[in-house]
Amino acid sequence: MHAFIAGLPKAELHVHHVGSASPRIVSELAARHPDSKVPTDPEALADYFTFTDFAHFIQVYLSVVDLIRTPEDVRLLTFEVARDLARQQVRYAELTITPYSSTRRGIDERAFMEAIEDARKAAEAEFGTVLRWCFDIPGEAGLVSAEETVRLATDDRLRPEGLVSFGLGGPEVGVPRPQFKPYFDQAIAAGLHSVPHAGETTGPETVWDAINELRAERIGHGTSSAQDPKLLAHLAEHRIALEVCPTSNIATRAVRTLDEHPIKEFVAAGVLVTVNSDDPPMFGTDLNTEYAVAARLLDLDERGLAVLAKNAVEAAFLDEPGKARLAAEIDTYTSAWLAP
């Protein structure tokens, strides 16, 4: 099963840019900036990436954000993340980037956009992995961060070619979703898809707010939707996909144990479920491991895993020919694997 997953062509829809910095990438960045408090030795780093709760996770996350200080750091991070994705046979990935966190730390906004775009093109040429961007608001940083993020996402002189969607991340407690409606309206008017985090650390009402106020087309996590049968029915009926990240939910203590994860309830309710890795090195995982976890929790065989991979293709913000090609690649791979 592990070998099948490792070779399965996949799409990753929920993975954070900075949250994808592997020990290898962290070491390279820390060597450039030796004053950082982020440890570089992999064992100490694993310890550093053990979280007591969601707030602690965000605090550690921001210390890794502090390692990215120049456009060259941004380019290195982006290109090396693509390398790690390509190694897992990820053909298409939507990377969640928080440009505000970098621009407010002094990286020039134009140079930031050039760095990610340069890395995207180089990665596609070298690894064949197609990258697209989701720019997210770090909600806890306030409305100024929303204002800045939507400006960076919609100003024609800045907006990168690879940008497809607009998001909202960070803690949910004390950060009500409806206040971000004007910014989502503006992003949607500019042609971006709406994909906020919701229901990761608060209840189903946050997911309703994401749908009704922010016009979410997919939901980041949506874990607490399981508590509301009407919400599950709504998600299923409107094909609003959930970006499920099982190991992340345990690592941040959003869910107590994997066996209590509501992914089974989502599937049983007919919701379009996609499996993703969120901040893989920080949570000691990768996309292949998340597929293995999902296979166990949902009792999937190879065909079931191929369906899961195709769910991500369906939910991707990729054009129809691109979706058809990737879905066909998944089918061809699966048939060849199962052939006698």
Site for ligand V47, rule CB under 6 A: 16, 19, 58, 61-62, 65, 96, 98, 101, 104, 136, 138, 140-141, 169-170, 197, 200, 248, 252, 278-279
Q: DSSP state, 167?
A: E
Closest CA to 219 of 232, 227, 210: 210
Closest CA to 138 of 283, 304, 16: 16
Listed ranges 3-11, 46-54, 170-178, 272-280: which one lies at the site for Zn ion (CB under 5 A): 272-280
Q: Is 303 helix (H, G, I), strand (E, B) or coil?
A: helix
Residue among 104 and 325 whose Cβ is closer to ligand V47: 104
Which parts of 90-129 interact with Zn ion (CB under 5 A)? none
Listed ranges 145-153, 180-188, 211-219, 277-285: which one lies at the site for Zn ion (CB under 5 A): 277-285
Residue among 15 and 163 whose Cβ is closer to Zn ion: 15
**What is the bridge-based pairing of β-strands 130-138 and 163-169?**
parallel
Q: Least distance in Å: CB of 334 to ligand V47?
A: 30
Q: Which does 159 bind (CB under 5 to 8 A by kind): ligand V47, Zn ion, none?
A: none
Q: Which does 222 bind (CB under 5 to 8 A by kind): ligand V47, Zn ion, none?
A: none
Closest CA to 20 of 331, 236, 291, 285: 285
**How far, in Å, CA of 12 to CA of 259, rounded?**
23
278 counts as binding Zn ion under rule CB under 5 A: yes
Q: Least distance in Å: CB of 278 to Zn ion?
A: 5
DSSP-assigned beta bridge partners for residue 90: 10
Phi, psi of 114 (to 5 degrees): -65, -40
Q: Which does 258 bind (CB under 5 to 8 A by kind): Zn ion, ligand V47, none?
A: none
Q: Which of 80, 200, 243, 290 is catalytic?
A: 200
Q: Least distance in Å: CB of 299 to Zn ion?
A: 26
**How far, in Å, CA of 44 to CA of 30, rounded?**
14
Q: Least distance in Å: CB of 33 to Zn ion?
A: 25
Residue among 19 and 281 whose Cβ is closer to ligand V47: 19
Q: Which does 193 bind (CB under 5 to 8 A by kind): Zn ion, ligand V47, none?
A: none
Cβ of 160: how many Cβ atoms within 10 Å? 19
**How far, in Å, CA of 249 to CA of 247, rounded?**
5
* Residue sitting closest to Zn ion (CB): 278
**How far, in Å, CA of 272 to CA of 237, rounded?**
10
243 counts as binding Zn ion under rule CB under 5 A: no
136 counts as binding Zn ion under rule CB under 5 A: no
| Helices and strands, number each (H, E), in the chain | 16, 9
Residue among 102 and 334 whose Cβ is closer to ligand V47: 102
Q: Is 106 helix (H, G, I), strand (E, B) or coil?
A: coil
Phi, psi of 255 (to 5 degrees): -130, 145
Q: Count residues near Zn ion (CB under 5 A).
A: 1
Q: Least distance in Å: CB of 206 to ligand V47?
A: 12
* CB-CB contact of 149 with 100 (8 Å): yes
Burial of 176 (0-12, 13-18, 19+ CB in 10 A): middle
Q: Least distance in Å: CB of 336 to ligand V47?
A: 35
Q: Least distance in Å: CB of 115 to Zn ion?
A: 22
Residue among 206 and 248 whose Cβ is closer to ligand V47: 248
Q: List Cβ neighbours of 125 (8 Å cut-off, separation of 6 or more).
A: none
The reply to whether 114 belongs to the active site is no
* Catalytic positions, written as ranges: 200
- The residues binding Zn ion (CB under 5 A) are 278
